[in-house]
Amino acid sequence: MAADSDLWLPLAIDVSRRWKMSFGTITATARLARAVCGELTDLILPPACPVCRARLGSAGGLCADCWQGVRFLERPWCERLGTPLPIDLGPGILSAAAVADPPAFARARSAVSYEGPVPDLVHALKYADRTDLAPMLGAWMARAAHELVAEADMLIPIPLHWGRLASRRFNQAALLAHEVGHLTGLPVATRLLLRTRRTPQQVGLGRDERARNMRGAFVVPFGKKTDLAGRRPILIDDVLTTGATLEAATRALLAAGASAVDVLTLARVVAPS
């Protein structure tokens, strides 16, 4: 697992094994310090639900009411898109959408539906510096990824453009990827996929607009293509809406030599039945 510096600006660079060991020691010390500080903080500011601010007995979770509002995605689902199906028709069933417009990626899986308290959790992680939510959310994703992990070689988070990374200071997809990697044992590759331009925000755009917005937005550096050839990565992102971002990233990885690409997100937008 990469050092914590992979997640934050500036991006991590390759260093010697000796320096990696030094970073590991520093990281372990920092985690211990955070744990001690966390206990002191809990005495002064008791843990609260990150969604509704109800008091909690311990940090790192949700209150009972908010927990009941989280809809975890379970089978039956479309084997390709991972969208829930109303009835179980057996293994390998594809939805009408997957048959009519097959995606470039092989399989998509998401931990939860983007409803209830989940949008608040995603917003808190991305825009309110609630990086302490990443272990819980990453654990949800690792649970949903179990059938993808056996065939995967690595995790690749959807990258941010350097300008957006500078303003946000961390990439939430990379943060989640490292949590999933920690739980599954898969390595996280943060340098194999780059965002070549700062695309406008996708919020409010339709499916076709999102696709045009993301066209040509990702590239695999020429010197990194050998690291990808014949490999099967899992793309990591926070939310799957229309799939335009993940589709564009998948096409870049396939063009660079990946044998197949799977997708794992924390949440996905599920249309009403």
Give tens-digit pLDDT for 123-143: 999 999 999 999 999 999 999
Reply yes or no on whether the pLDDT at 1 is more than 70: no
Three-state secondary-structure class, residue 174: helix
CA distance 153 to 144: 17
Reply yes or no on whether the pLDDT at 7 is more than 90: no
The secondary element (H helix, E strand) that includes residue 240 is strand 233-240
Please report the pLDDT score of residue 65 as a whole number: 96
The secondary element (H helix, E strand) that includes residue 142 is helix 134-144
* Angle, CA of 262, 135 and 6, to the nearest 5°: 70
> Token pair for residue 251?
């096409």
Task: Compute the Cα dihedral for 140, 191, 18, 166 and give only its sign.
Answer: negative
CA distance 188 to 138: 13
Residue 109 β-bridge partners: 264
List strand residue ranges (DSSP E) for 62-184, in order: 107-113, 154-157
Cβ neighbours of residue 218 closer than 8 Å, sequence gap 6 or more: 159, 193, 194, 195, 196, 248, 249, 251, 252
Q: Which of 7-11, 40-44, 83-87 has the weakest average pLDDT?
A: 7-11
Rounded to 10°, the helix 118-127/134-144 angle is 120
- In the numeric block, the tokens 């409803």 are attached to 115
Contact 52, 63 (CB under 8 A): yes
Please report the pLDDT score of residue 162 as a whole number: 80
The per-residue pLDDT for range 175-229, each reduced to its tens digit, is 999 999 999 999 999 999 999 876 656 555 556 666 666 677 899 999 999 999 9
> Token pair for residue 120?
């608040």
How does residue 90 score in pLDDT terms, banded at 50, 70 and 90? confident
Please report the pLDDT score of residue 59 as a whole number: 79
Burial status of residue 149 (CB atoms within 10 A of its CB: 0-12, 13-18, 19 or more): middle
Reply yes or no on whether the pLDDT at 98 is more than 70: yes
**What is the chain's mean pLDDT, rounded?**
84
Please report the pLDDT score of residue 21 as a whole number: 42
State mean pLDDT over 78-85.
95
CA distance 250 to 217: 11
State mean pLDDT over 158-176.
87
Contact 270, 113 (CB under 8 A): yes
pLDDT, greater one: 225 or 272: 225
